Copies of this chain bind each other. A is one copy, B any other.
């Protein structure tokens, strides 16, 4: 299902976005931009206001997302726009007099990912800026997508609404780790590099009379170790820190005593890497 071949899923295919009666070109444009941000490409418009494809929409849809506007298809009716679909969702905050399942965007996204993975075609209807979706349009859908928002202020701009739903779709297929640290091409410091720095620091602190008493030394060094470990330094950063430490020790002692990193021949200079 989701995410096994995420790169492909992210860039190609995915739900069709149907804007029903959009009034402002800039919103069509920002919807197109949000779609491409999230790897969606099939845009359909039902009775858009005339001039929707004028400057405003193309100004909002920067760069590659203009291709989505150019390829957008226009339909007279919602039925026509979704005739080839296996499942239709209506994105709307208001559902009046209808008993349709209402899904959070996150839940709907998981469902859509499953269906698209099974080869089904899926569309999401968005209403016009002023009136949203009419009841007859919502009745053509199999389910409603409703973003739970601040109940005191839940009115979303059309482009923002498309982004939320498209983003949730995208995230179901995305495998980015929660936390990554860009290493700038530098590998993380290994155990030995870390130990060598801790030993250097321990020695410098001992020489400076930092430890109140010998029994305190291991406990204090453990606290310092914890702090250093949390920083997950790179090799380059460890070299930098050796240099910082050597410089601080030298200036404290009032003498020029460059520290030699174990295994290197060149003394490190201030800020030297």
Binding site for B on A (CB under 8 A): 10-11, 30, 33-34, 36-39, 60, 62-65, 95, 97-104, 106-107, 147-157, 159-160, 163-164, 167, 170-171, 174, 176-184, 186, 234, 237
Q: How many copies does the complex hold?
A: 2
- Tell me if B157 and A99 are in contact (CB < 8 A): no
Inter-chain contacts of A107 with B (CB < 8 A): 178-179
- Tell me if A176 and B37 are in contact (CB < 8 A): no
Measured in the bound complex, the distance between the Cα atoms of B30 and A26 in whole Å is: 13
Inter-chain contacts of A159 with B (CB < 8 A): 157, 160
Minimum C-beta distance from A91 to chain B (A): 14
Minimum C-beta distance from A183 to chain B (A): 7
Inter-chain contacts of A151 with B (CB < 8 A): 11
- Tell me if B170 and A150 are in contact (CB < 8 A): yes
Minimum C-beta distance from A211 to chain B (A): 30
Q: A38-B150, A102-B182, A179-B102 are in contact. Are A167 and B170 (CB under 8 A)?
A: no
Measured in the bound complex, the distance between the Cα atoms of B149 and A174 in whole Å is: 9
- Tell me if A99 and B150 are in contact (CB < 8 A): no
Inter-chain contacts of A176 with B (CB < 8 A): 104, 148
Inter-chain contacts of A101 with B (CB < 8 A): 179-181
- Tell me if A181 and B150 are in contact (CB < 8 A): no
- Tell me if A237 and B182 are in contact (CB < 8 A): no
Measured in the bound complex, the distance between the Cα atoms of B179 and A148 in whole Å is: 12
Inter-chain contacts of A148 with B (CB < 8 A): 170-171, 174, 176
- For the A-B complex with A99-B182, A99-B184 known, give 15 more contacts whose Cβ atoms are closer than 8 Å: A11-B151, A33-B157, A34-B160, A38-B149, A38-B150, A97-B184, A99-B186, A99-B234, A100-B181, A102-B182, A103-B178, A104-B177, A107-B178, A157-B159, A160-B163
